[in-house]
Structure 1
Amino acid sequence: MGTTPSYFSMGGRGADHVSGKDTSRHPVETASWEDVTEFCKRLSAKEGKTYRLPTEAEWEYACRAGTTTLYCFGDDPASLGEFAWYYRNAGGKTHPVGEKKRNAWGLHDMHGNVYEWCADWYGKDYYAGSPPDDPPGPDGASHRVIRGGSGMVGARDCRAAYRLALPLGPGDTANTLGFRVAAVPLSKSSQGQANKQAEPGAEAEASQGETTSD
């Protein structure tokens, strides 16, 4: 489906940061929301299935993996380095997926490494009055939601409930921003539970930059 646009790849502008390393398993970043949407369409056509970006509620539900704590492993940020690449251990670059511990549902890198695009528009107060089960997000806004934190930010920004919307248009990119896809249809039972343990409105913050503090 084409070559990777990633900054941290052997052909990317940040190749010096990953010199001598196999970057084939690094997360794809520097991909816009439009790029990712088109990728999902092509992947769906290629495999005969349906793939898309997860909604914000689906993303948090998957990240939490049945927990209600700050992180998928508990509340202590001192343990974050076992599960995530973030400011204190990433060294200013991305790392191969799957090197850190997985959450209880077997998902790696839900915290850190790269932020991940969600399907939803960002609405600061949307979840105060959203449907209780599997909310689809606002009908429209100026920016899309991103989740998960990255290797350039501190532990606070990697929390399961932390929400962010950078001032990026649908065609804009960042070398700290990647994605993961969701396969549909989800089981009806999973869809119905997507916001019972995950409340995206609990942490609402819009930002024009990133922080390197814990």
Structure 2
Amino acid sequence: GRHRNLISNDGTVRIQDWGSLLMEMAQLDSPQDDLNQFFVNFGLLYFDNKRNEIVIPSLVKKQRYETFFDITTSVTTYLTYRFERMPSDLLAYLHACFGAAGWGIVEFSNTGFCIEDEAFKMEVSSLGQHGIQFRLVGKNGLDINLDEVMGMVEASLKKGYKSLSKSLDQRTIPAYATPEMINVPGGTFTMGWLNEQRDGDGFFYEKPAHELKLNSFAIGRYPVTFEEYDAFCEAAGREKPEDEGWGRGRRPVIYVDWYDAVEYCNWLSEIWGLEQVYEVDKKQKDPNNKYENDPKKWLVTADENANGYRLLTEAEWEYAARGGQKSEGFLYAGSNDLDEVGWYGSNSGSKTHPVGEKQPNELGLHDMSGNVYEWCWDWFAGDYYQSSPEDNPGGPDQGSYRVNRGGNWNSNPQNCRAACRNNWNPANRNNNVGFRLARSS
């Protein structure tokens, strides 16, 4: 009962300081070294016989679990280490190791985030803005001493964090520089204008419809916001883009050209310790850029094997907008009713809106129809669909304009369709164009 203050309403442990819990443990009326007694005294754990797991905290539901536990069995314990706010450099390092393309299990055997005992290994099973969930695995037949286990976890965290802080030169990374990414399983889909029933009134450059096969990737749940882009500007000493007086914060960033988007991707990759996707040569003119009036014409090349942040290809963008393998065949990204999912000319009040206010599509993506156009990697060609590769197309080899997709706050419904294509000079900055992040899986 006296430990219920550690449990939030949703049944998760709210541990601001792991050491304080260790202090509580030491003050038990009848201290015991085994995990079974810990169940009885704390009521914070439950034992899942099917999975052979002891879990902290999950489905506590204000109940006390008094289950029998065979100390000689193989044990998996989930431990949650929570912060009031995750130290930015710690989050940066874990994010870099763990990746943004979805949760899995990553063993930190050579980073300091490991138990200094051959009997244990500590793995990350979940990572969020305010907490790390570790999986602690013990060998069969191991005599587990709870105080020793918790002590090793605490020591490992402290050592790892100290080592991490030193290795990152005390850099500060704002929490809002952590994009929320969604996994998009690869598969086949029909890109382009198929028929009026599915795609409405289309343009000639949306044809012919053609079947493509894409690899899996991760995509930002929202377009990049002013909050996120302003952090980049502050870190890089760049002038912040205008906001038209509409506000910044969670509104999608505007007045960014294609080159700005590329540089943001590289910056974000760098601060998370990821491989930069793009090599940008500002001195050499891109021979594949055929737009005579492009004042930059920087030579930008992409490393397809890099694990950092990048722009979506046009095919990835349409696949995600349509809902990937969960697609229900909507005209817009998530609905046949544009008002449900997008800000456009008839409902926006002639301005952008904070991201996420409209309903998401089948993949949980917001604002893919309306609000702002989104830069893609590809050069634009009106006849590209006639000769597009079937596997993971990346656009023509050259062009004058880069693709952007999705419609914007001033668009008519036709330009907000999932099939609709648009393009701009890559050096163009406007109040209706932003971008969205991707990462290769």
- TM-score for the superposition, normalised by structure 2: 0.37
Q: How much has 1:68 moved relative to structure 2?
A: 3.3
- C-alpha separation in 2, matches of 1:72 and 1:180: 15
| 1:72 aligned onto 2:333 | yes
- C-alpha separation in 2, matches of 1:2 and 1:122: 28
- C-alpha separation in 1, matches of 2:329 and 2:391: 16
Q: Are the structure 2 counterparts of residues 125 and 68 from structure 1 closer, same or farther at C-alpha, using a change threshold of 3 Å? A: farther
Give the structure 1 partner of residue 233 of structure 2. Answer: 2
CA-to-aligned-CA distance 1:191-213 (integer Å, 9 cap, x gap): xxxxxxxxxxxxxxxxxxxxxxx
- C-alpha separation in 1, matches of 2:251 and 2:370: 13
**Match 1:134 to one of 378, 382, 392:** 392
- C-alpha separation in 2, matches of 1:106 and 1:85: 17
Give the structure 1 partner of residue 433 of structure 2. Answer: 177
Q: After the TM superposition, which of the residue ranges 132-141 and 52-61 deviates more from structure 2?
A: 132-141
Match of 1:87, as an amino acid? G
SS in 1 for 2:378: strand
CA-to-aligned-CA distance 1:66-120 (integer Å, 9 cap, x gap): 243322334x4xx211100000110111100000000111100010000000000
- C-alpha separation in 2, matches of 1:69 and 1:97: 21
Equivalent residues in 2 for 1:140-155, closer than 5 Å: 140-155=398-413
Give the structure 1 partner of residue 255 of structure 2. Answer: 30
Q: How much has 1:127 moved relative to structure 2?
A: 1.4
Match of 1:2, as an amino acid? C
Equivalent residues of 1:5, 1:29 under 8 A apart: no
- C-alpha separation in 1, matches of 2:330 and 2:340: 16
Equivalent residues of 1:6, 1:175 under 8 A apart: no
Stretches of structure 1 that go unaligned for 5 or more consecutive residues are: 9-13, 187-214
Q: How much has 1:139 moved relative to structure 2?
A: 0.4
* Greater relative contact order structure (CA < 8 Å, 6+ sep): 1
CA-to-aligned-CA distance 1:134-190 (integer Å, 9 cap, x gap): 211100100000100000011110000100113x2x322111000011022x2xxxx
| 1:55 aligned onto 2:313 | yes
Equivalent residues in 2 for 1:5-20, closer than 5 Å: 5-8=240-243, 14-15=244-245, 18=246
SS in 1 for 2:439: strand
SS in 2 for 1:2: helix
- C-alpha separation in 1, matches of 2:391 and 2:348: 36
Equivalent residues of 1:31, 1:174 under 8 A apart: yes
- Aligned-pair Cα RMSD in Å: 1.5
- C-alpha separation in 2, matches of 1:100 and 1:123: 31
- TM-score for the superposition, normalised by structure 1: 0.75
SS in 2 for 1:119: strand
Q: Which 4+ residue blocks in structure 1 deviate beyond 6 angstroms?
A: none
Aligned length: 170
Equivalent residues of 2:265, 2:310 under 8 A apart: yes
Q: How much has 1:123 moved relative to structure 2?
A: 1.0
Match of 1:60, as an amino acid? E
Stretches of structure 2 that go unaligned for 5 or more consecutive residues are: 1-231, 275-307
Match of 2:346, as an amino acid? R
User: Which has the larger strand fraction?
Assistant: 2
CA-to-aligned-CA distance 1:11-41 (integer Å, 9 cap, x gap): xxx21xx3xx6x3000011001111101101
Percent of residue pairs bearing the same amino acid type? 47
Equivalent residues of 1:5, 1:31 under 8 A apart: no
Equivalent residues of 2:334, 2:359 under 8 A apart: no
- C-alpha separation in 2, matches of 1:67 and 1:60: 14
- C-alpha separation in 2, matches of 1:149 and 1:51: 23
Equivalent residues of 1:144, 1:165 under 8 A apart: yes
| 1:91 aligned onto 2:328 | no
Equivalent residues of 2:334, 2:360 under 8 A apart: no
| 1:43 aligned onto 2:268 | yes
Q: How much has 1:48 moved relative to structure 2?
A: 2.1
- C-alpha separation in 2, matches of 1:5 and 1:107: 26
Q: How much has 1:6 moved relative to structure 2?
A: 3.9
- C-alpha separation in 1, matches of 2:423 and 2:402: 6
Match of 2:331, as an amino acid? L
